Amino acid sequence: MMLLTPALRAQLIANAADPSGDHLPVAKFFNPVGAGVWLATMLDPDGDTLHGIADLDMDCVDYGVFSLAELQGLDVGLKLGVERDILFATTAPISVWIDIADIAGGIRAAERIIARLEREG
């Protein structure tokens, strides 16, 4: 699977023009057979360094950088790799995701809470 479409790549690069901004996550990547969820908000000019949050199911959600190439090359078993959630969309900025993920215990739990809040308006 192509992890970044041209449109997603363009938005991630545009967000990087304002690195101090509280951007909306643009893309969600996940391990289809186990732990591992990443939300990306920015992409550096090198085309590889993504900024966002990572949850490897170790009781902490980390904000920082991760490698697109490493995500693309990761073998998660069963001849599968990391995938992009093609239905992912959010109106919550990354700071809200971080806060809720910290309280809820991870990105997947935060996603359920944020989706409910977005539905309820």
Q: Which residue segment(s) compose the domain that 85 sits in?
A: 6-120
pLDDT at 1: 76
Q: How confident is the model at residue 116 (pLDDT cuts 50, 70, 90)?
A: very high
Q: Is residue 19 part of a domain?
A: yes
Q: How many CA atoms lie within 13 A of 24 on its CB side?
A: 9
Q: Is residue 12 part of a domain?
A: yes
Residues 110-119: what's their mean pLDDT? Answer: 96
pLDDT at 20: 95
Q: Is residue 67 part of a domain?
A: yes
pLDDT at 76: 85
**Model-level pTM?**
0.95
DSSP for 33-68? Answer: TSS-EEEEEEE-TTSSEEEEEEE-SSS-EEEEEEEH
Q: Give CA–CA dist 95/118, Å, rounded.
A: 16
pLDDT score of 98 more than 80: yes
pLDDT digits (tens, 9 = 90+) for 45-58: 999 999 999 999 88
Q: Give how many domains the chain has, as a whole number.
A: 1
Residues 78-100: what's their mean pLDDT? Answer: 96
Portion of the chain with pLDDT greater than 90, in percent? 88
Q: Is residue 22 part of a domain?
A: yes
Q: Is residue 37 part of a domain?
A: yes
Q: Is residue 1 part of a domain?
A: no
Q: Is residue 81 part of a domain?
A: yes
Q: Is residue 99 part of a domain?
A: yes
Are the beta carbons of 27 and 15 closer than 8 angstroms?
Answer: no
Portion of the chain with pLDDT greater than 70, in percent? 100
